[in-house]
A = this chain, B = another copy of it.
């Protein structure tokens, strides 16, 4: 499984030292990324992920050094060299090397080929526990590399047998560390539209849900989440993941909800048939 990576035009071994030490991503946290995977060997919703990556770059005022079609060829090469049927790709764009450690001169573009993450099939059926955490992401519309609180809390999550943090501030929830949040109140499906990253999985799930439920896209209060009948979270790696406990509060019955599992099935159909 010899994975490779792309860096500013070159394809090199995934374990090579690559970054010089005056990169603004490293010194100033000035970087953004995106992450997606293949199904049936085909990158899932590639246009959407590329557009989001472009949007993040635009908001951080970083010019993209390559076009979508050039990168498509790179992805095909990286995929083929991996020898794997399915892979994940991590795009990272940083402010590049800065002689004065402040001003952007030329961004650095990295694309890592990665193996698929553990899928947590148990969590998908039984649901996960999350911890409420008072925080709102800075520049939430940009997929910046700033995940300090997630890394900082990783051990505490493990200790409390929780899978993630639920960000809330001033009585309003926004998202989990790397995924969006949805709640069911009866047959009404509600998801936040403020202070969030616009998830691709979120968008797919909203489209799938519209045929079956009332969908409300608006600010969601912490109280609504705590008192909801069902709660779930969506992401590239989590798909539709039931949330069954928030801190010490069980959600609804404390078990994965039937509407959530129904949407999960719809989503699984989409990815299982992707490219077919």
Contact = CB atoms under 8 A, between A and B. Distances in A.
Interface of A: 5, 7, 14-31, 33, 60-61, 90, 92, 94-95, 100-104, 110, 112, 117, 138-139, 144-148, 150-152, 154-155
B60 A28 contact: no
Contact of A148 (B21, B33, B144): B144
Copies of this chain in the oligomer? 2
A148 B138 contact: yes
Nearest to A114: B101
A27 B104 CA distance: 18
A148 B17 contact: no
B24 A31 contact: no
Nearest to A104: B151
A147 B24 CA distance: 9
Contact of A20 (B16, B24, B29, B145): B16
A144 B29 CA distance: 9
A248 B188 CA distance: 50
Contacts of A22: 112
A14 B99 CA distance: 12
Given A23-B26, A28-B148, A103-B151, 4 more contacts: A16-B17, A17-B20, A27-B33, A104-B154
B155 A61 contact: yes
Contact of A31 (B20, B29, B92): B29
Contacts of A17: 16-20
Given A27-B92, A28-B148, A29-B147, A21 B154 contact: no
- Most chain B CB within 10 A, of A26, A28, A60, A138, is at A26
Contact of A21 (B29, B61, B103, B112): B112
10 smallest beta-carbon distances between A and B, as pairs: A19-B19, A29-B29, A29-B146, A28-B147, A30-B151, A29-B145, A17-B17, A103-B154, A18-B21, A25-B26
A144 B100 CA distance: 18
Given A29-B147, A151-B102, A20 B21 contact: no
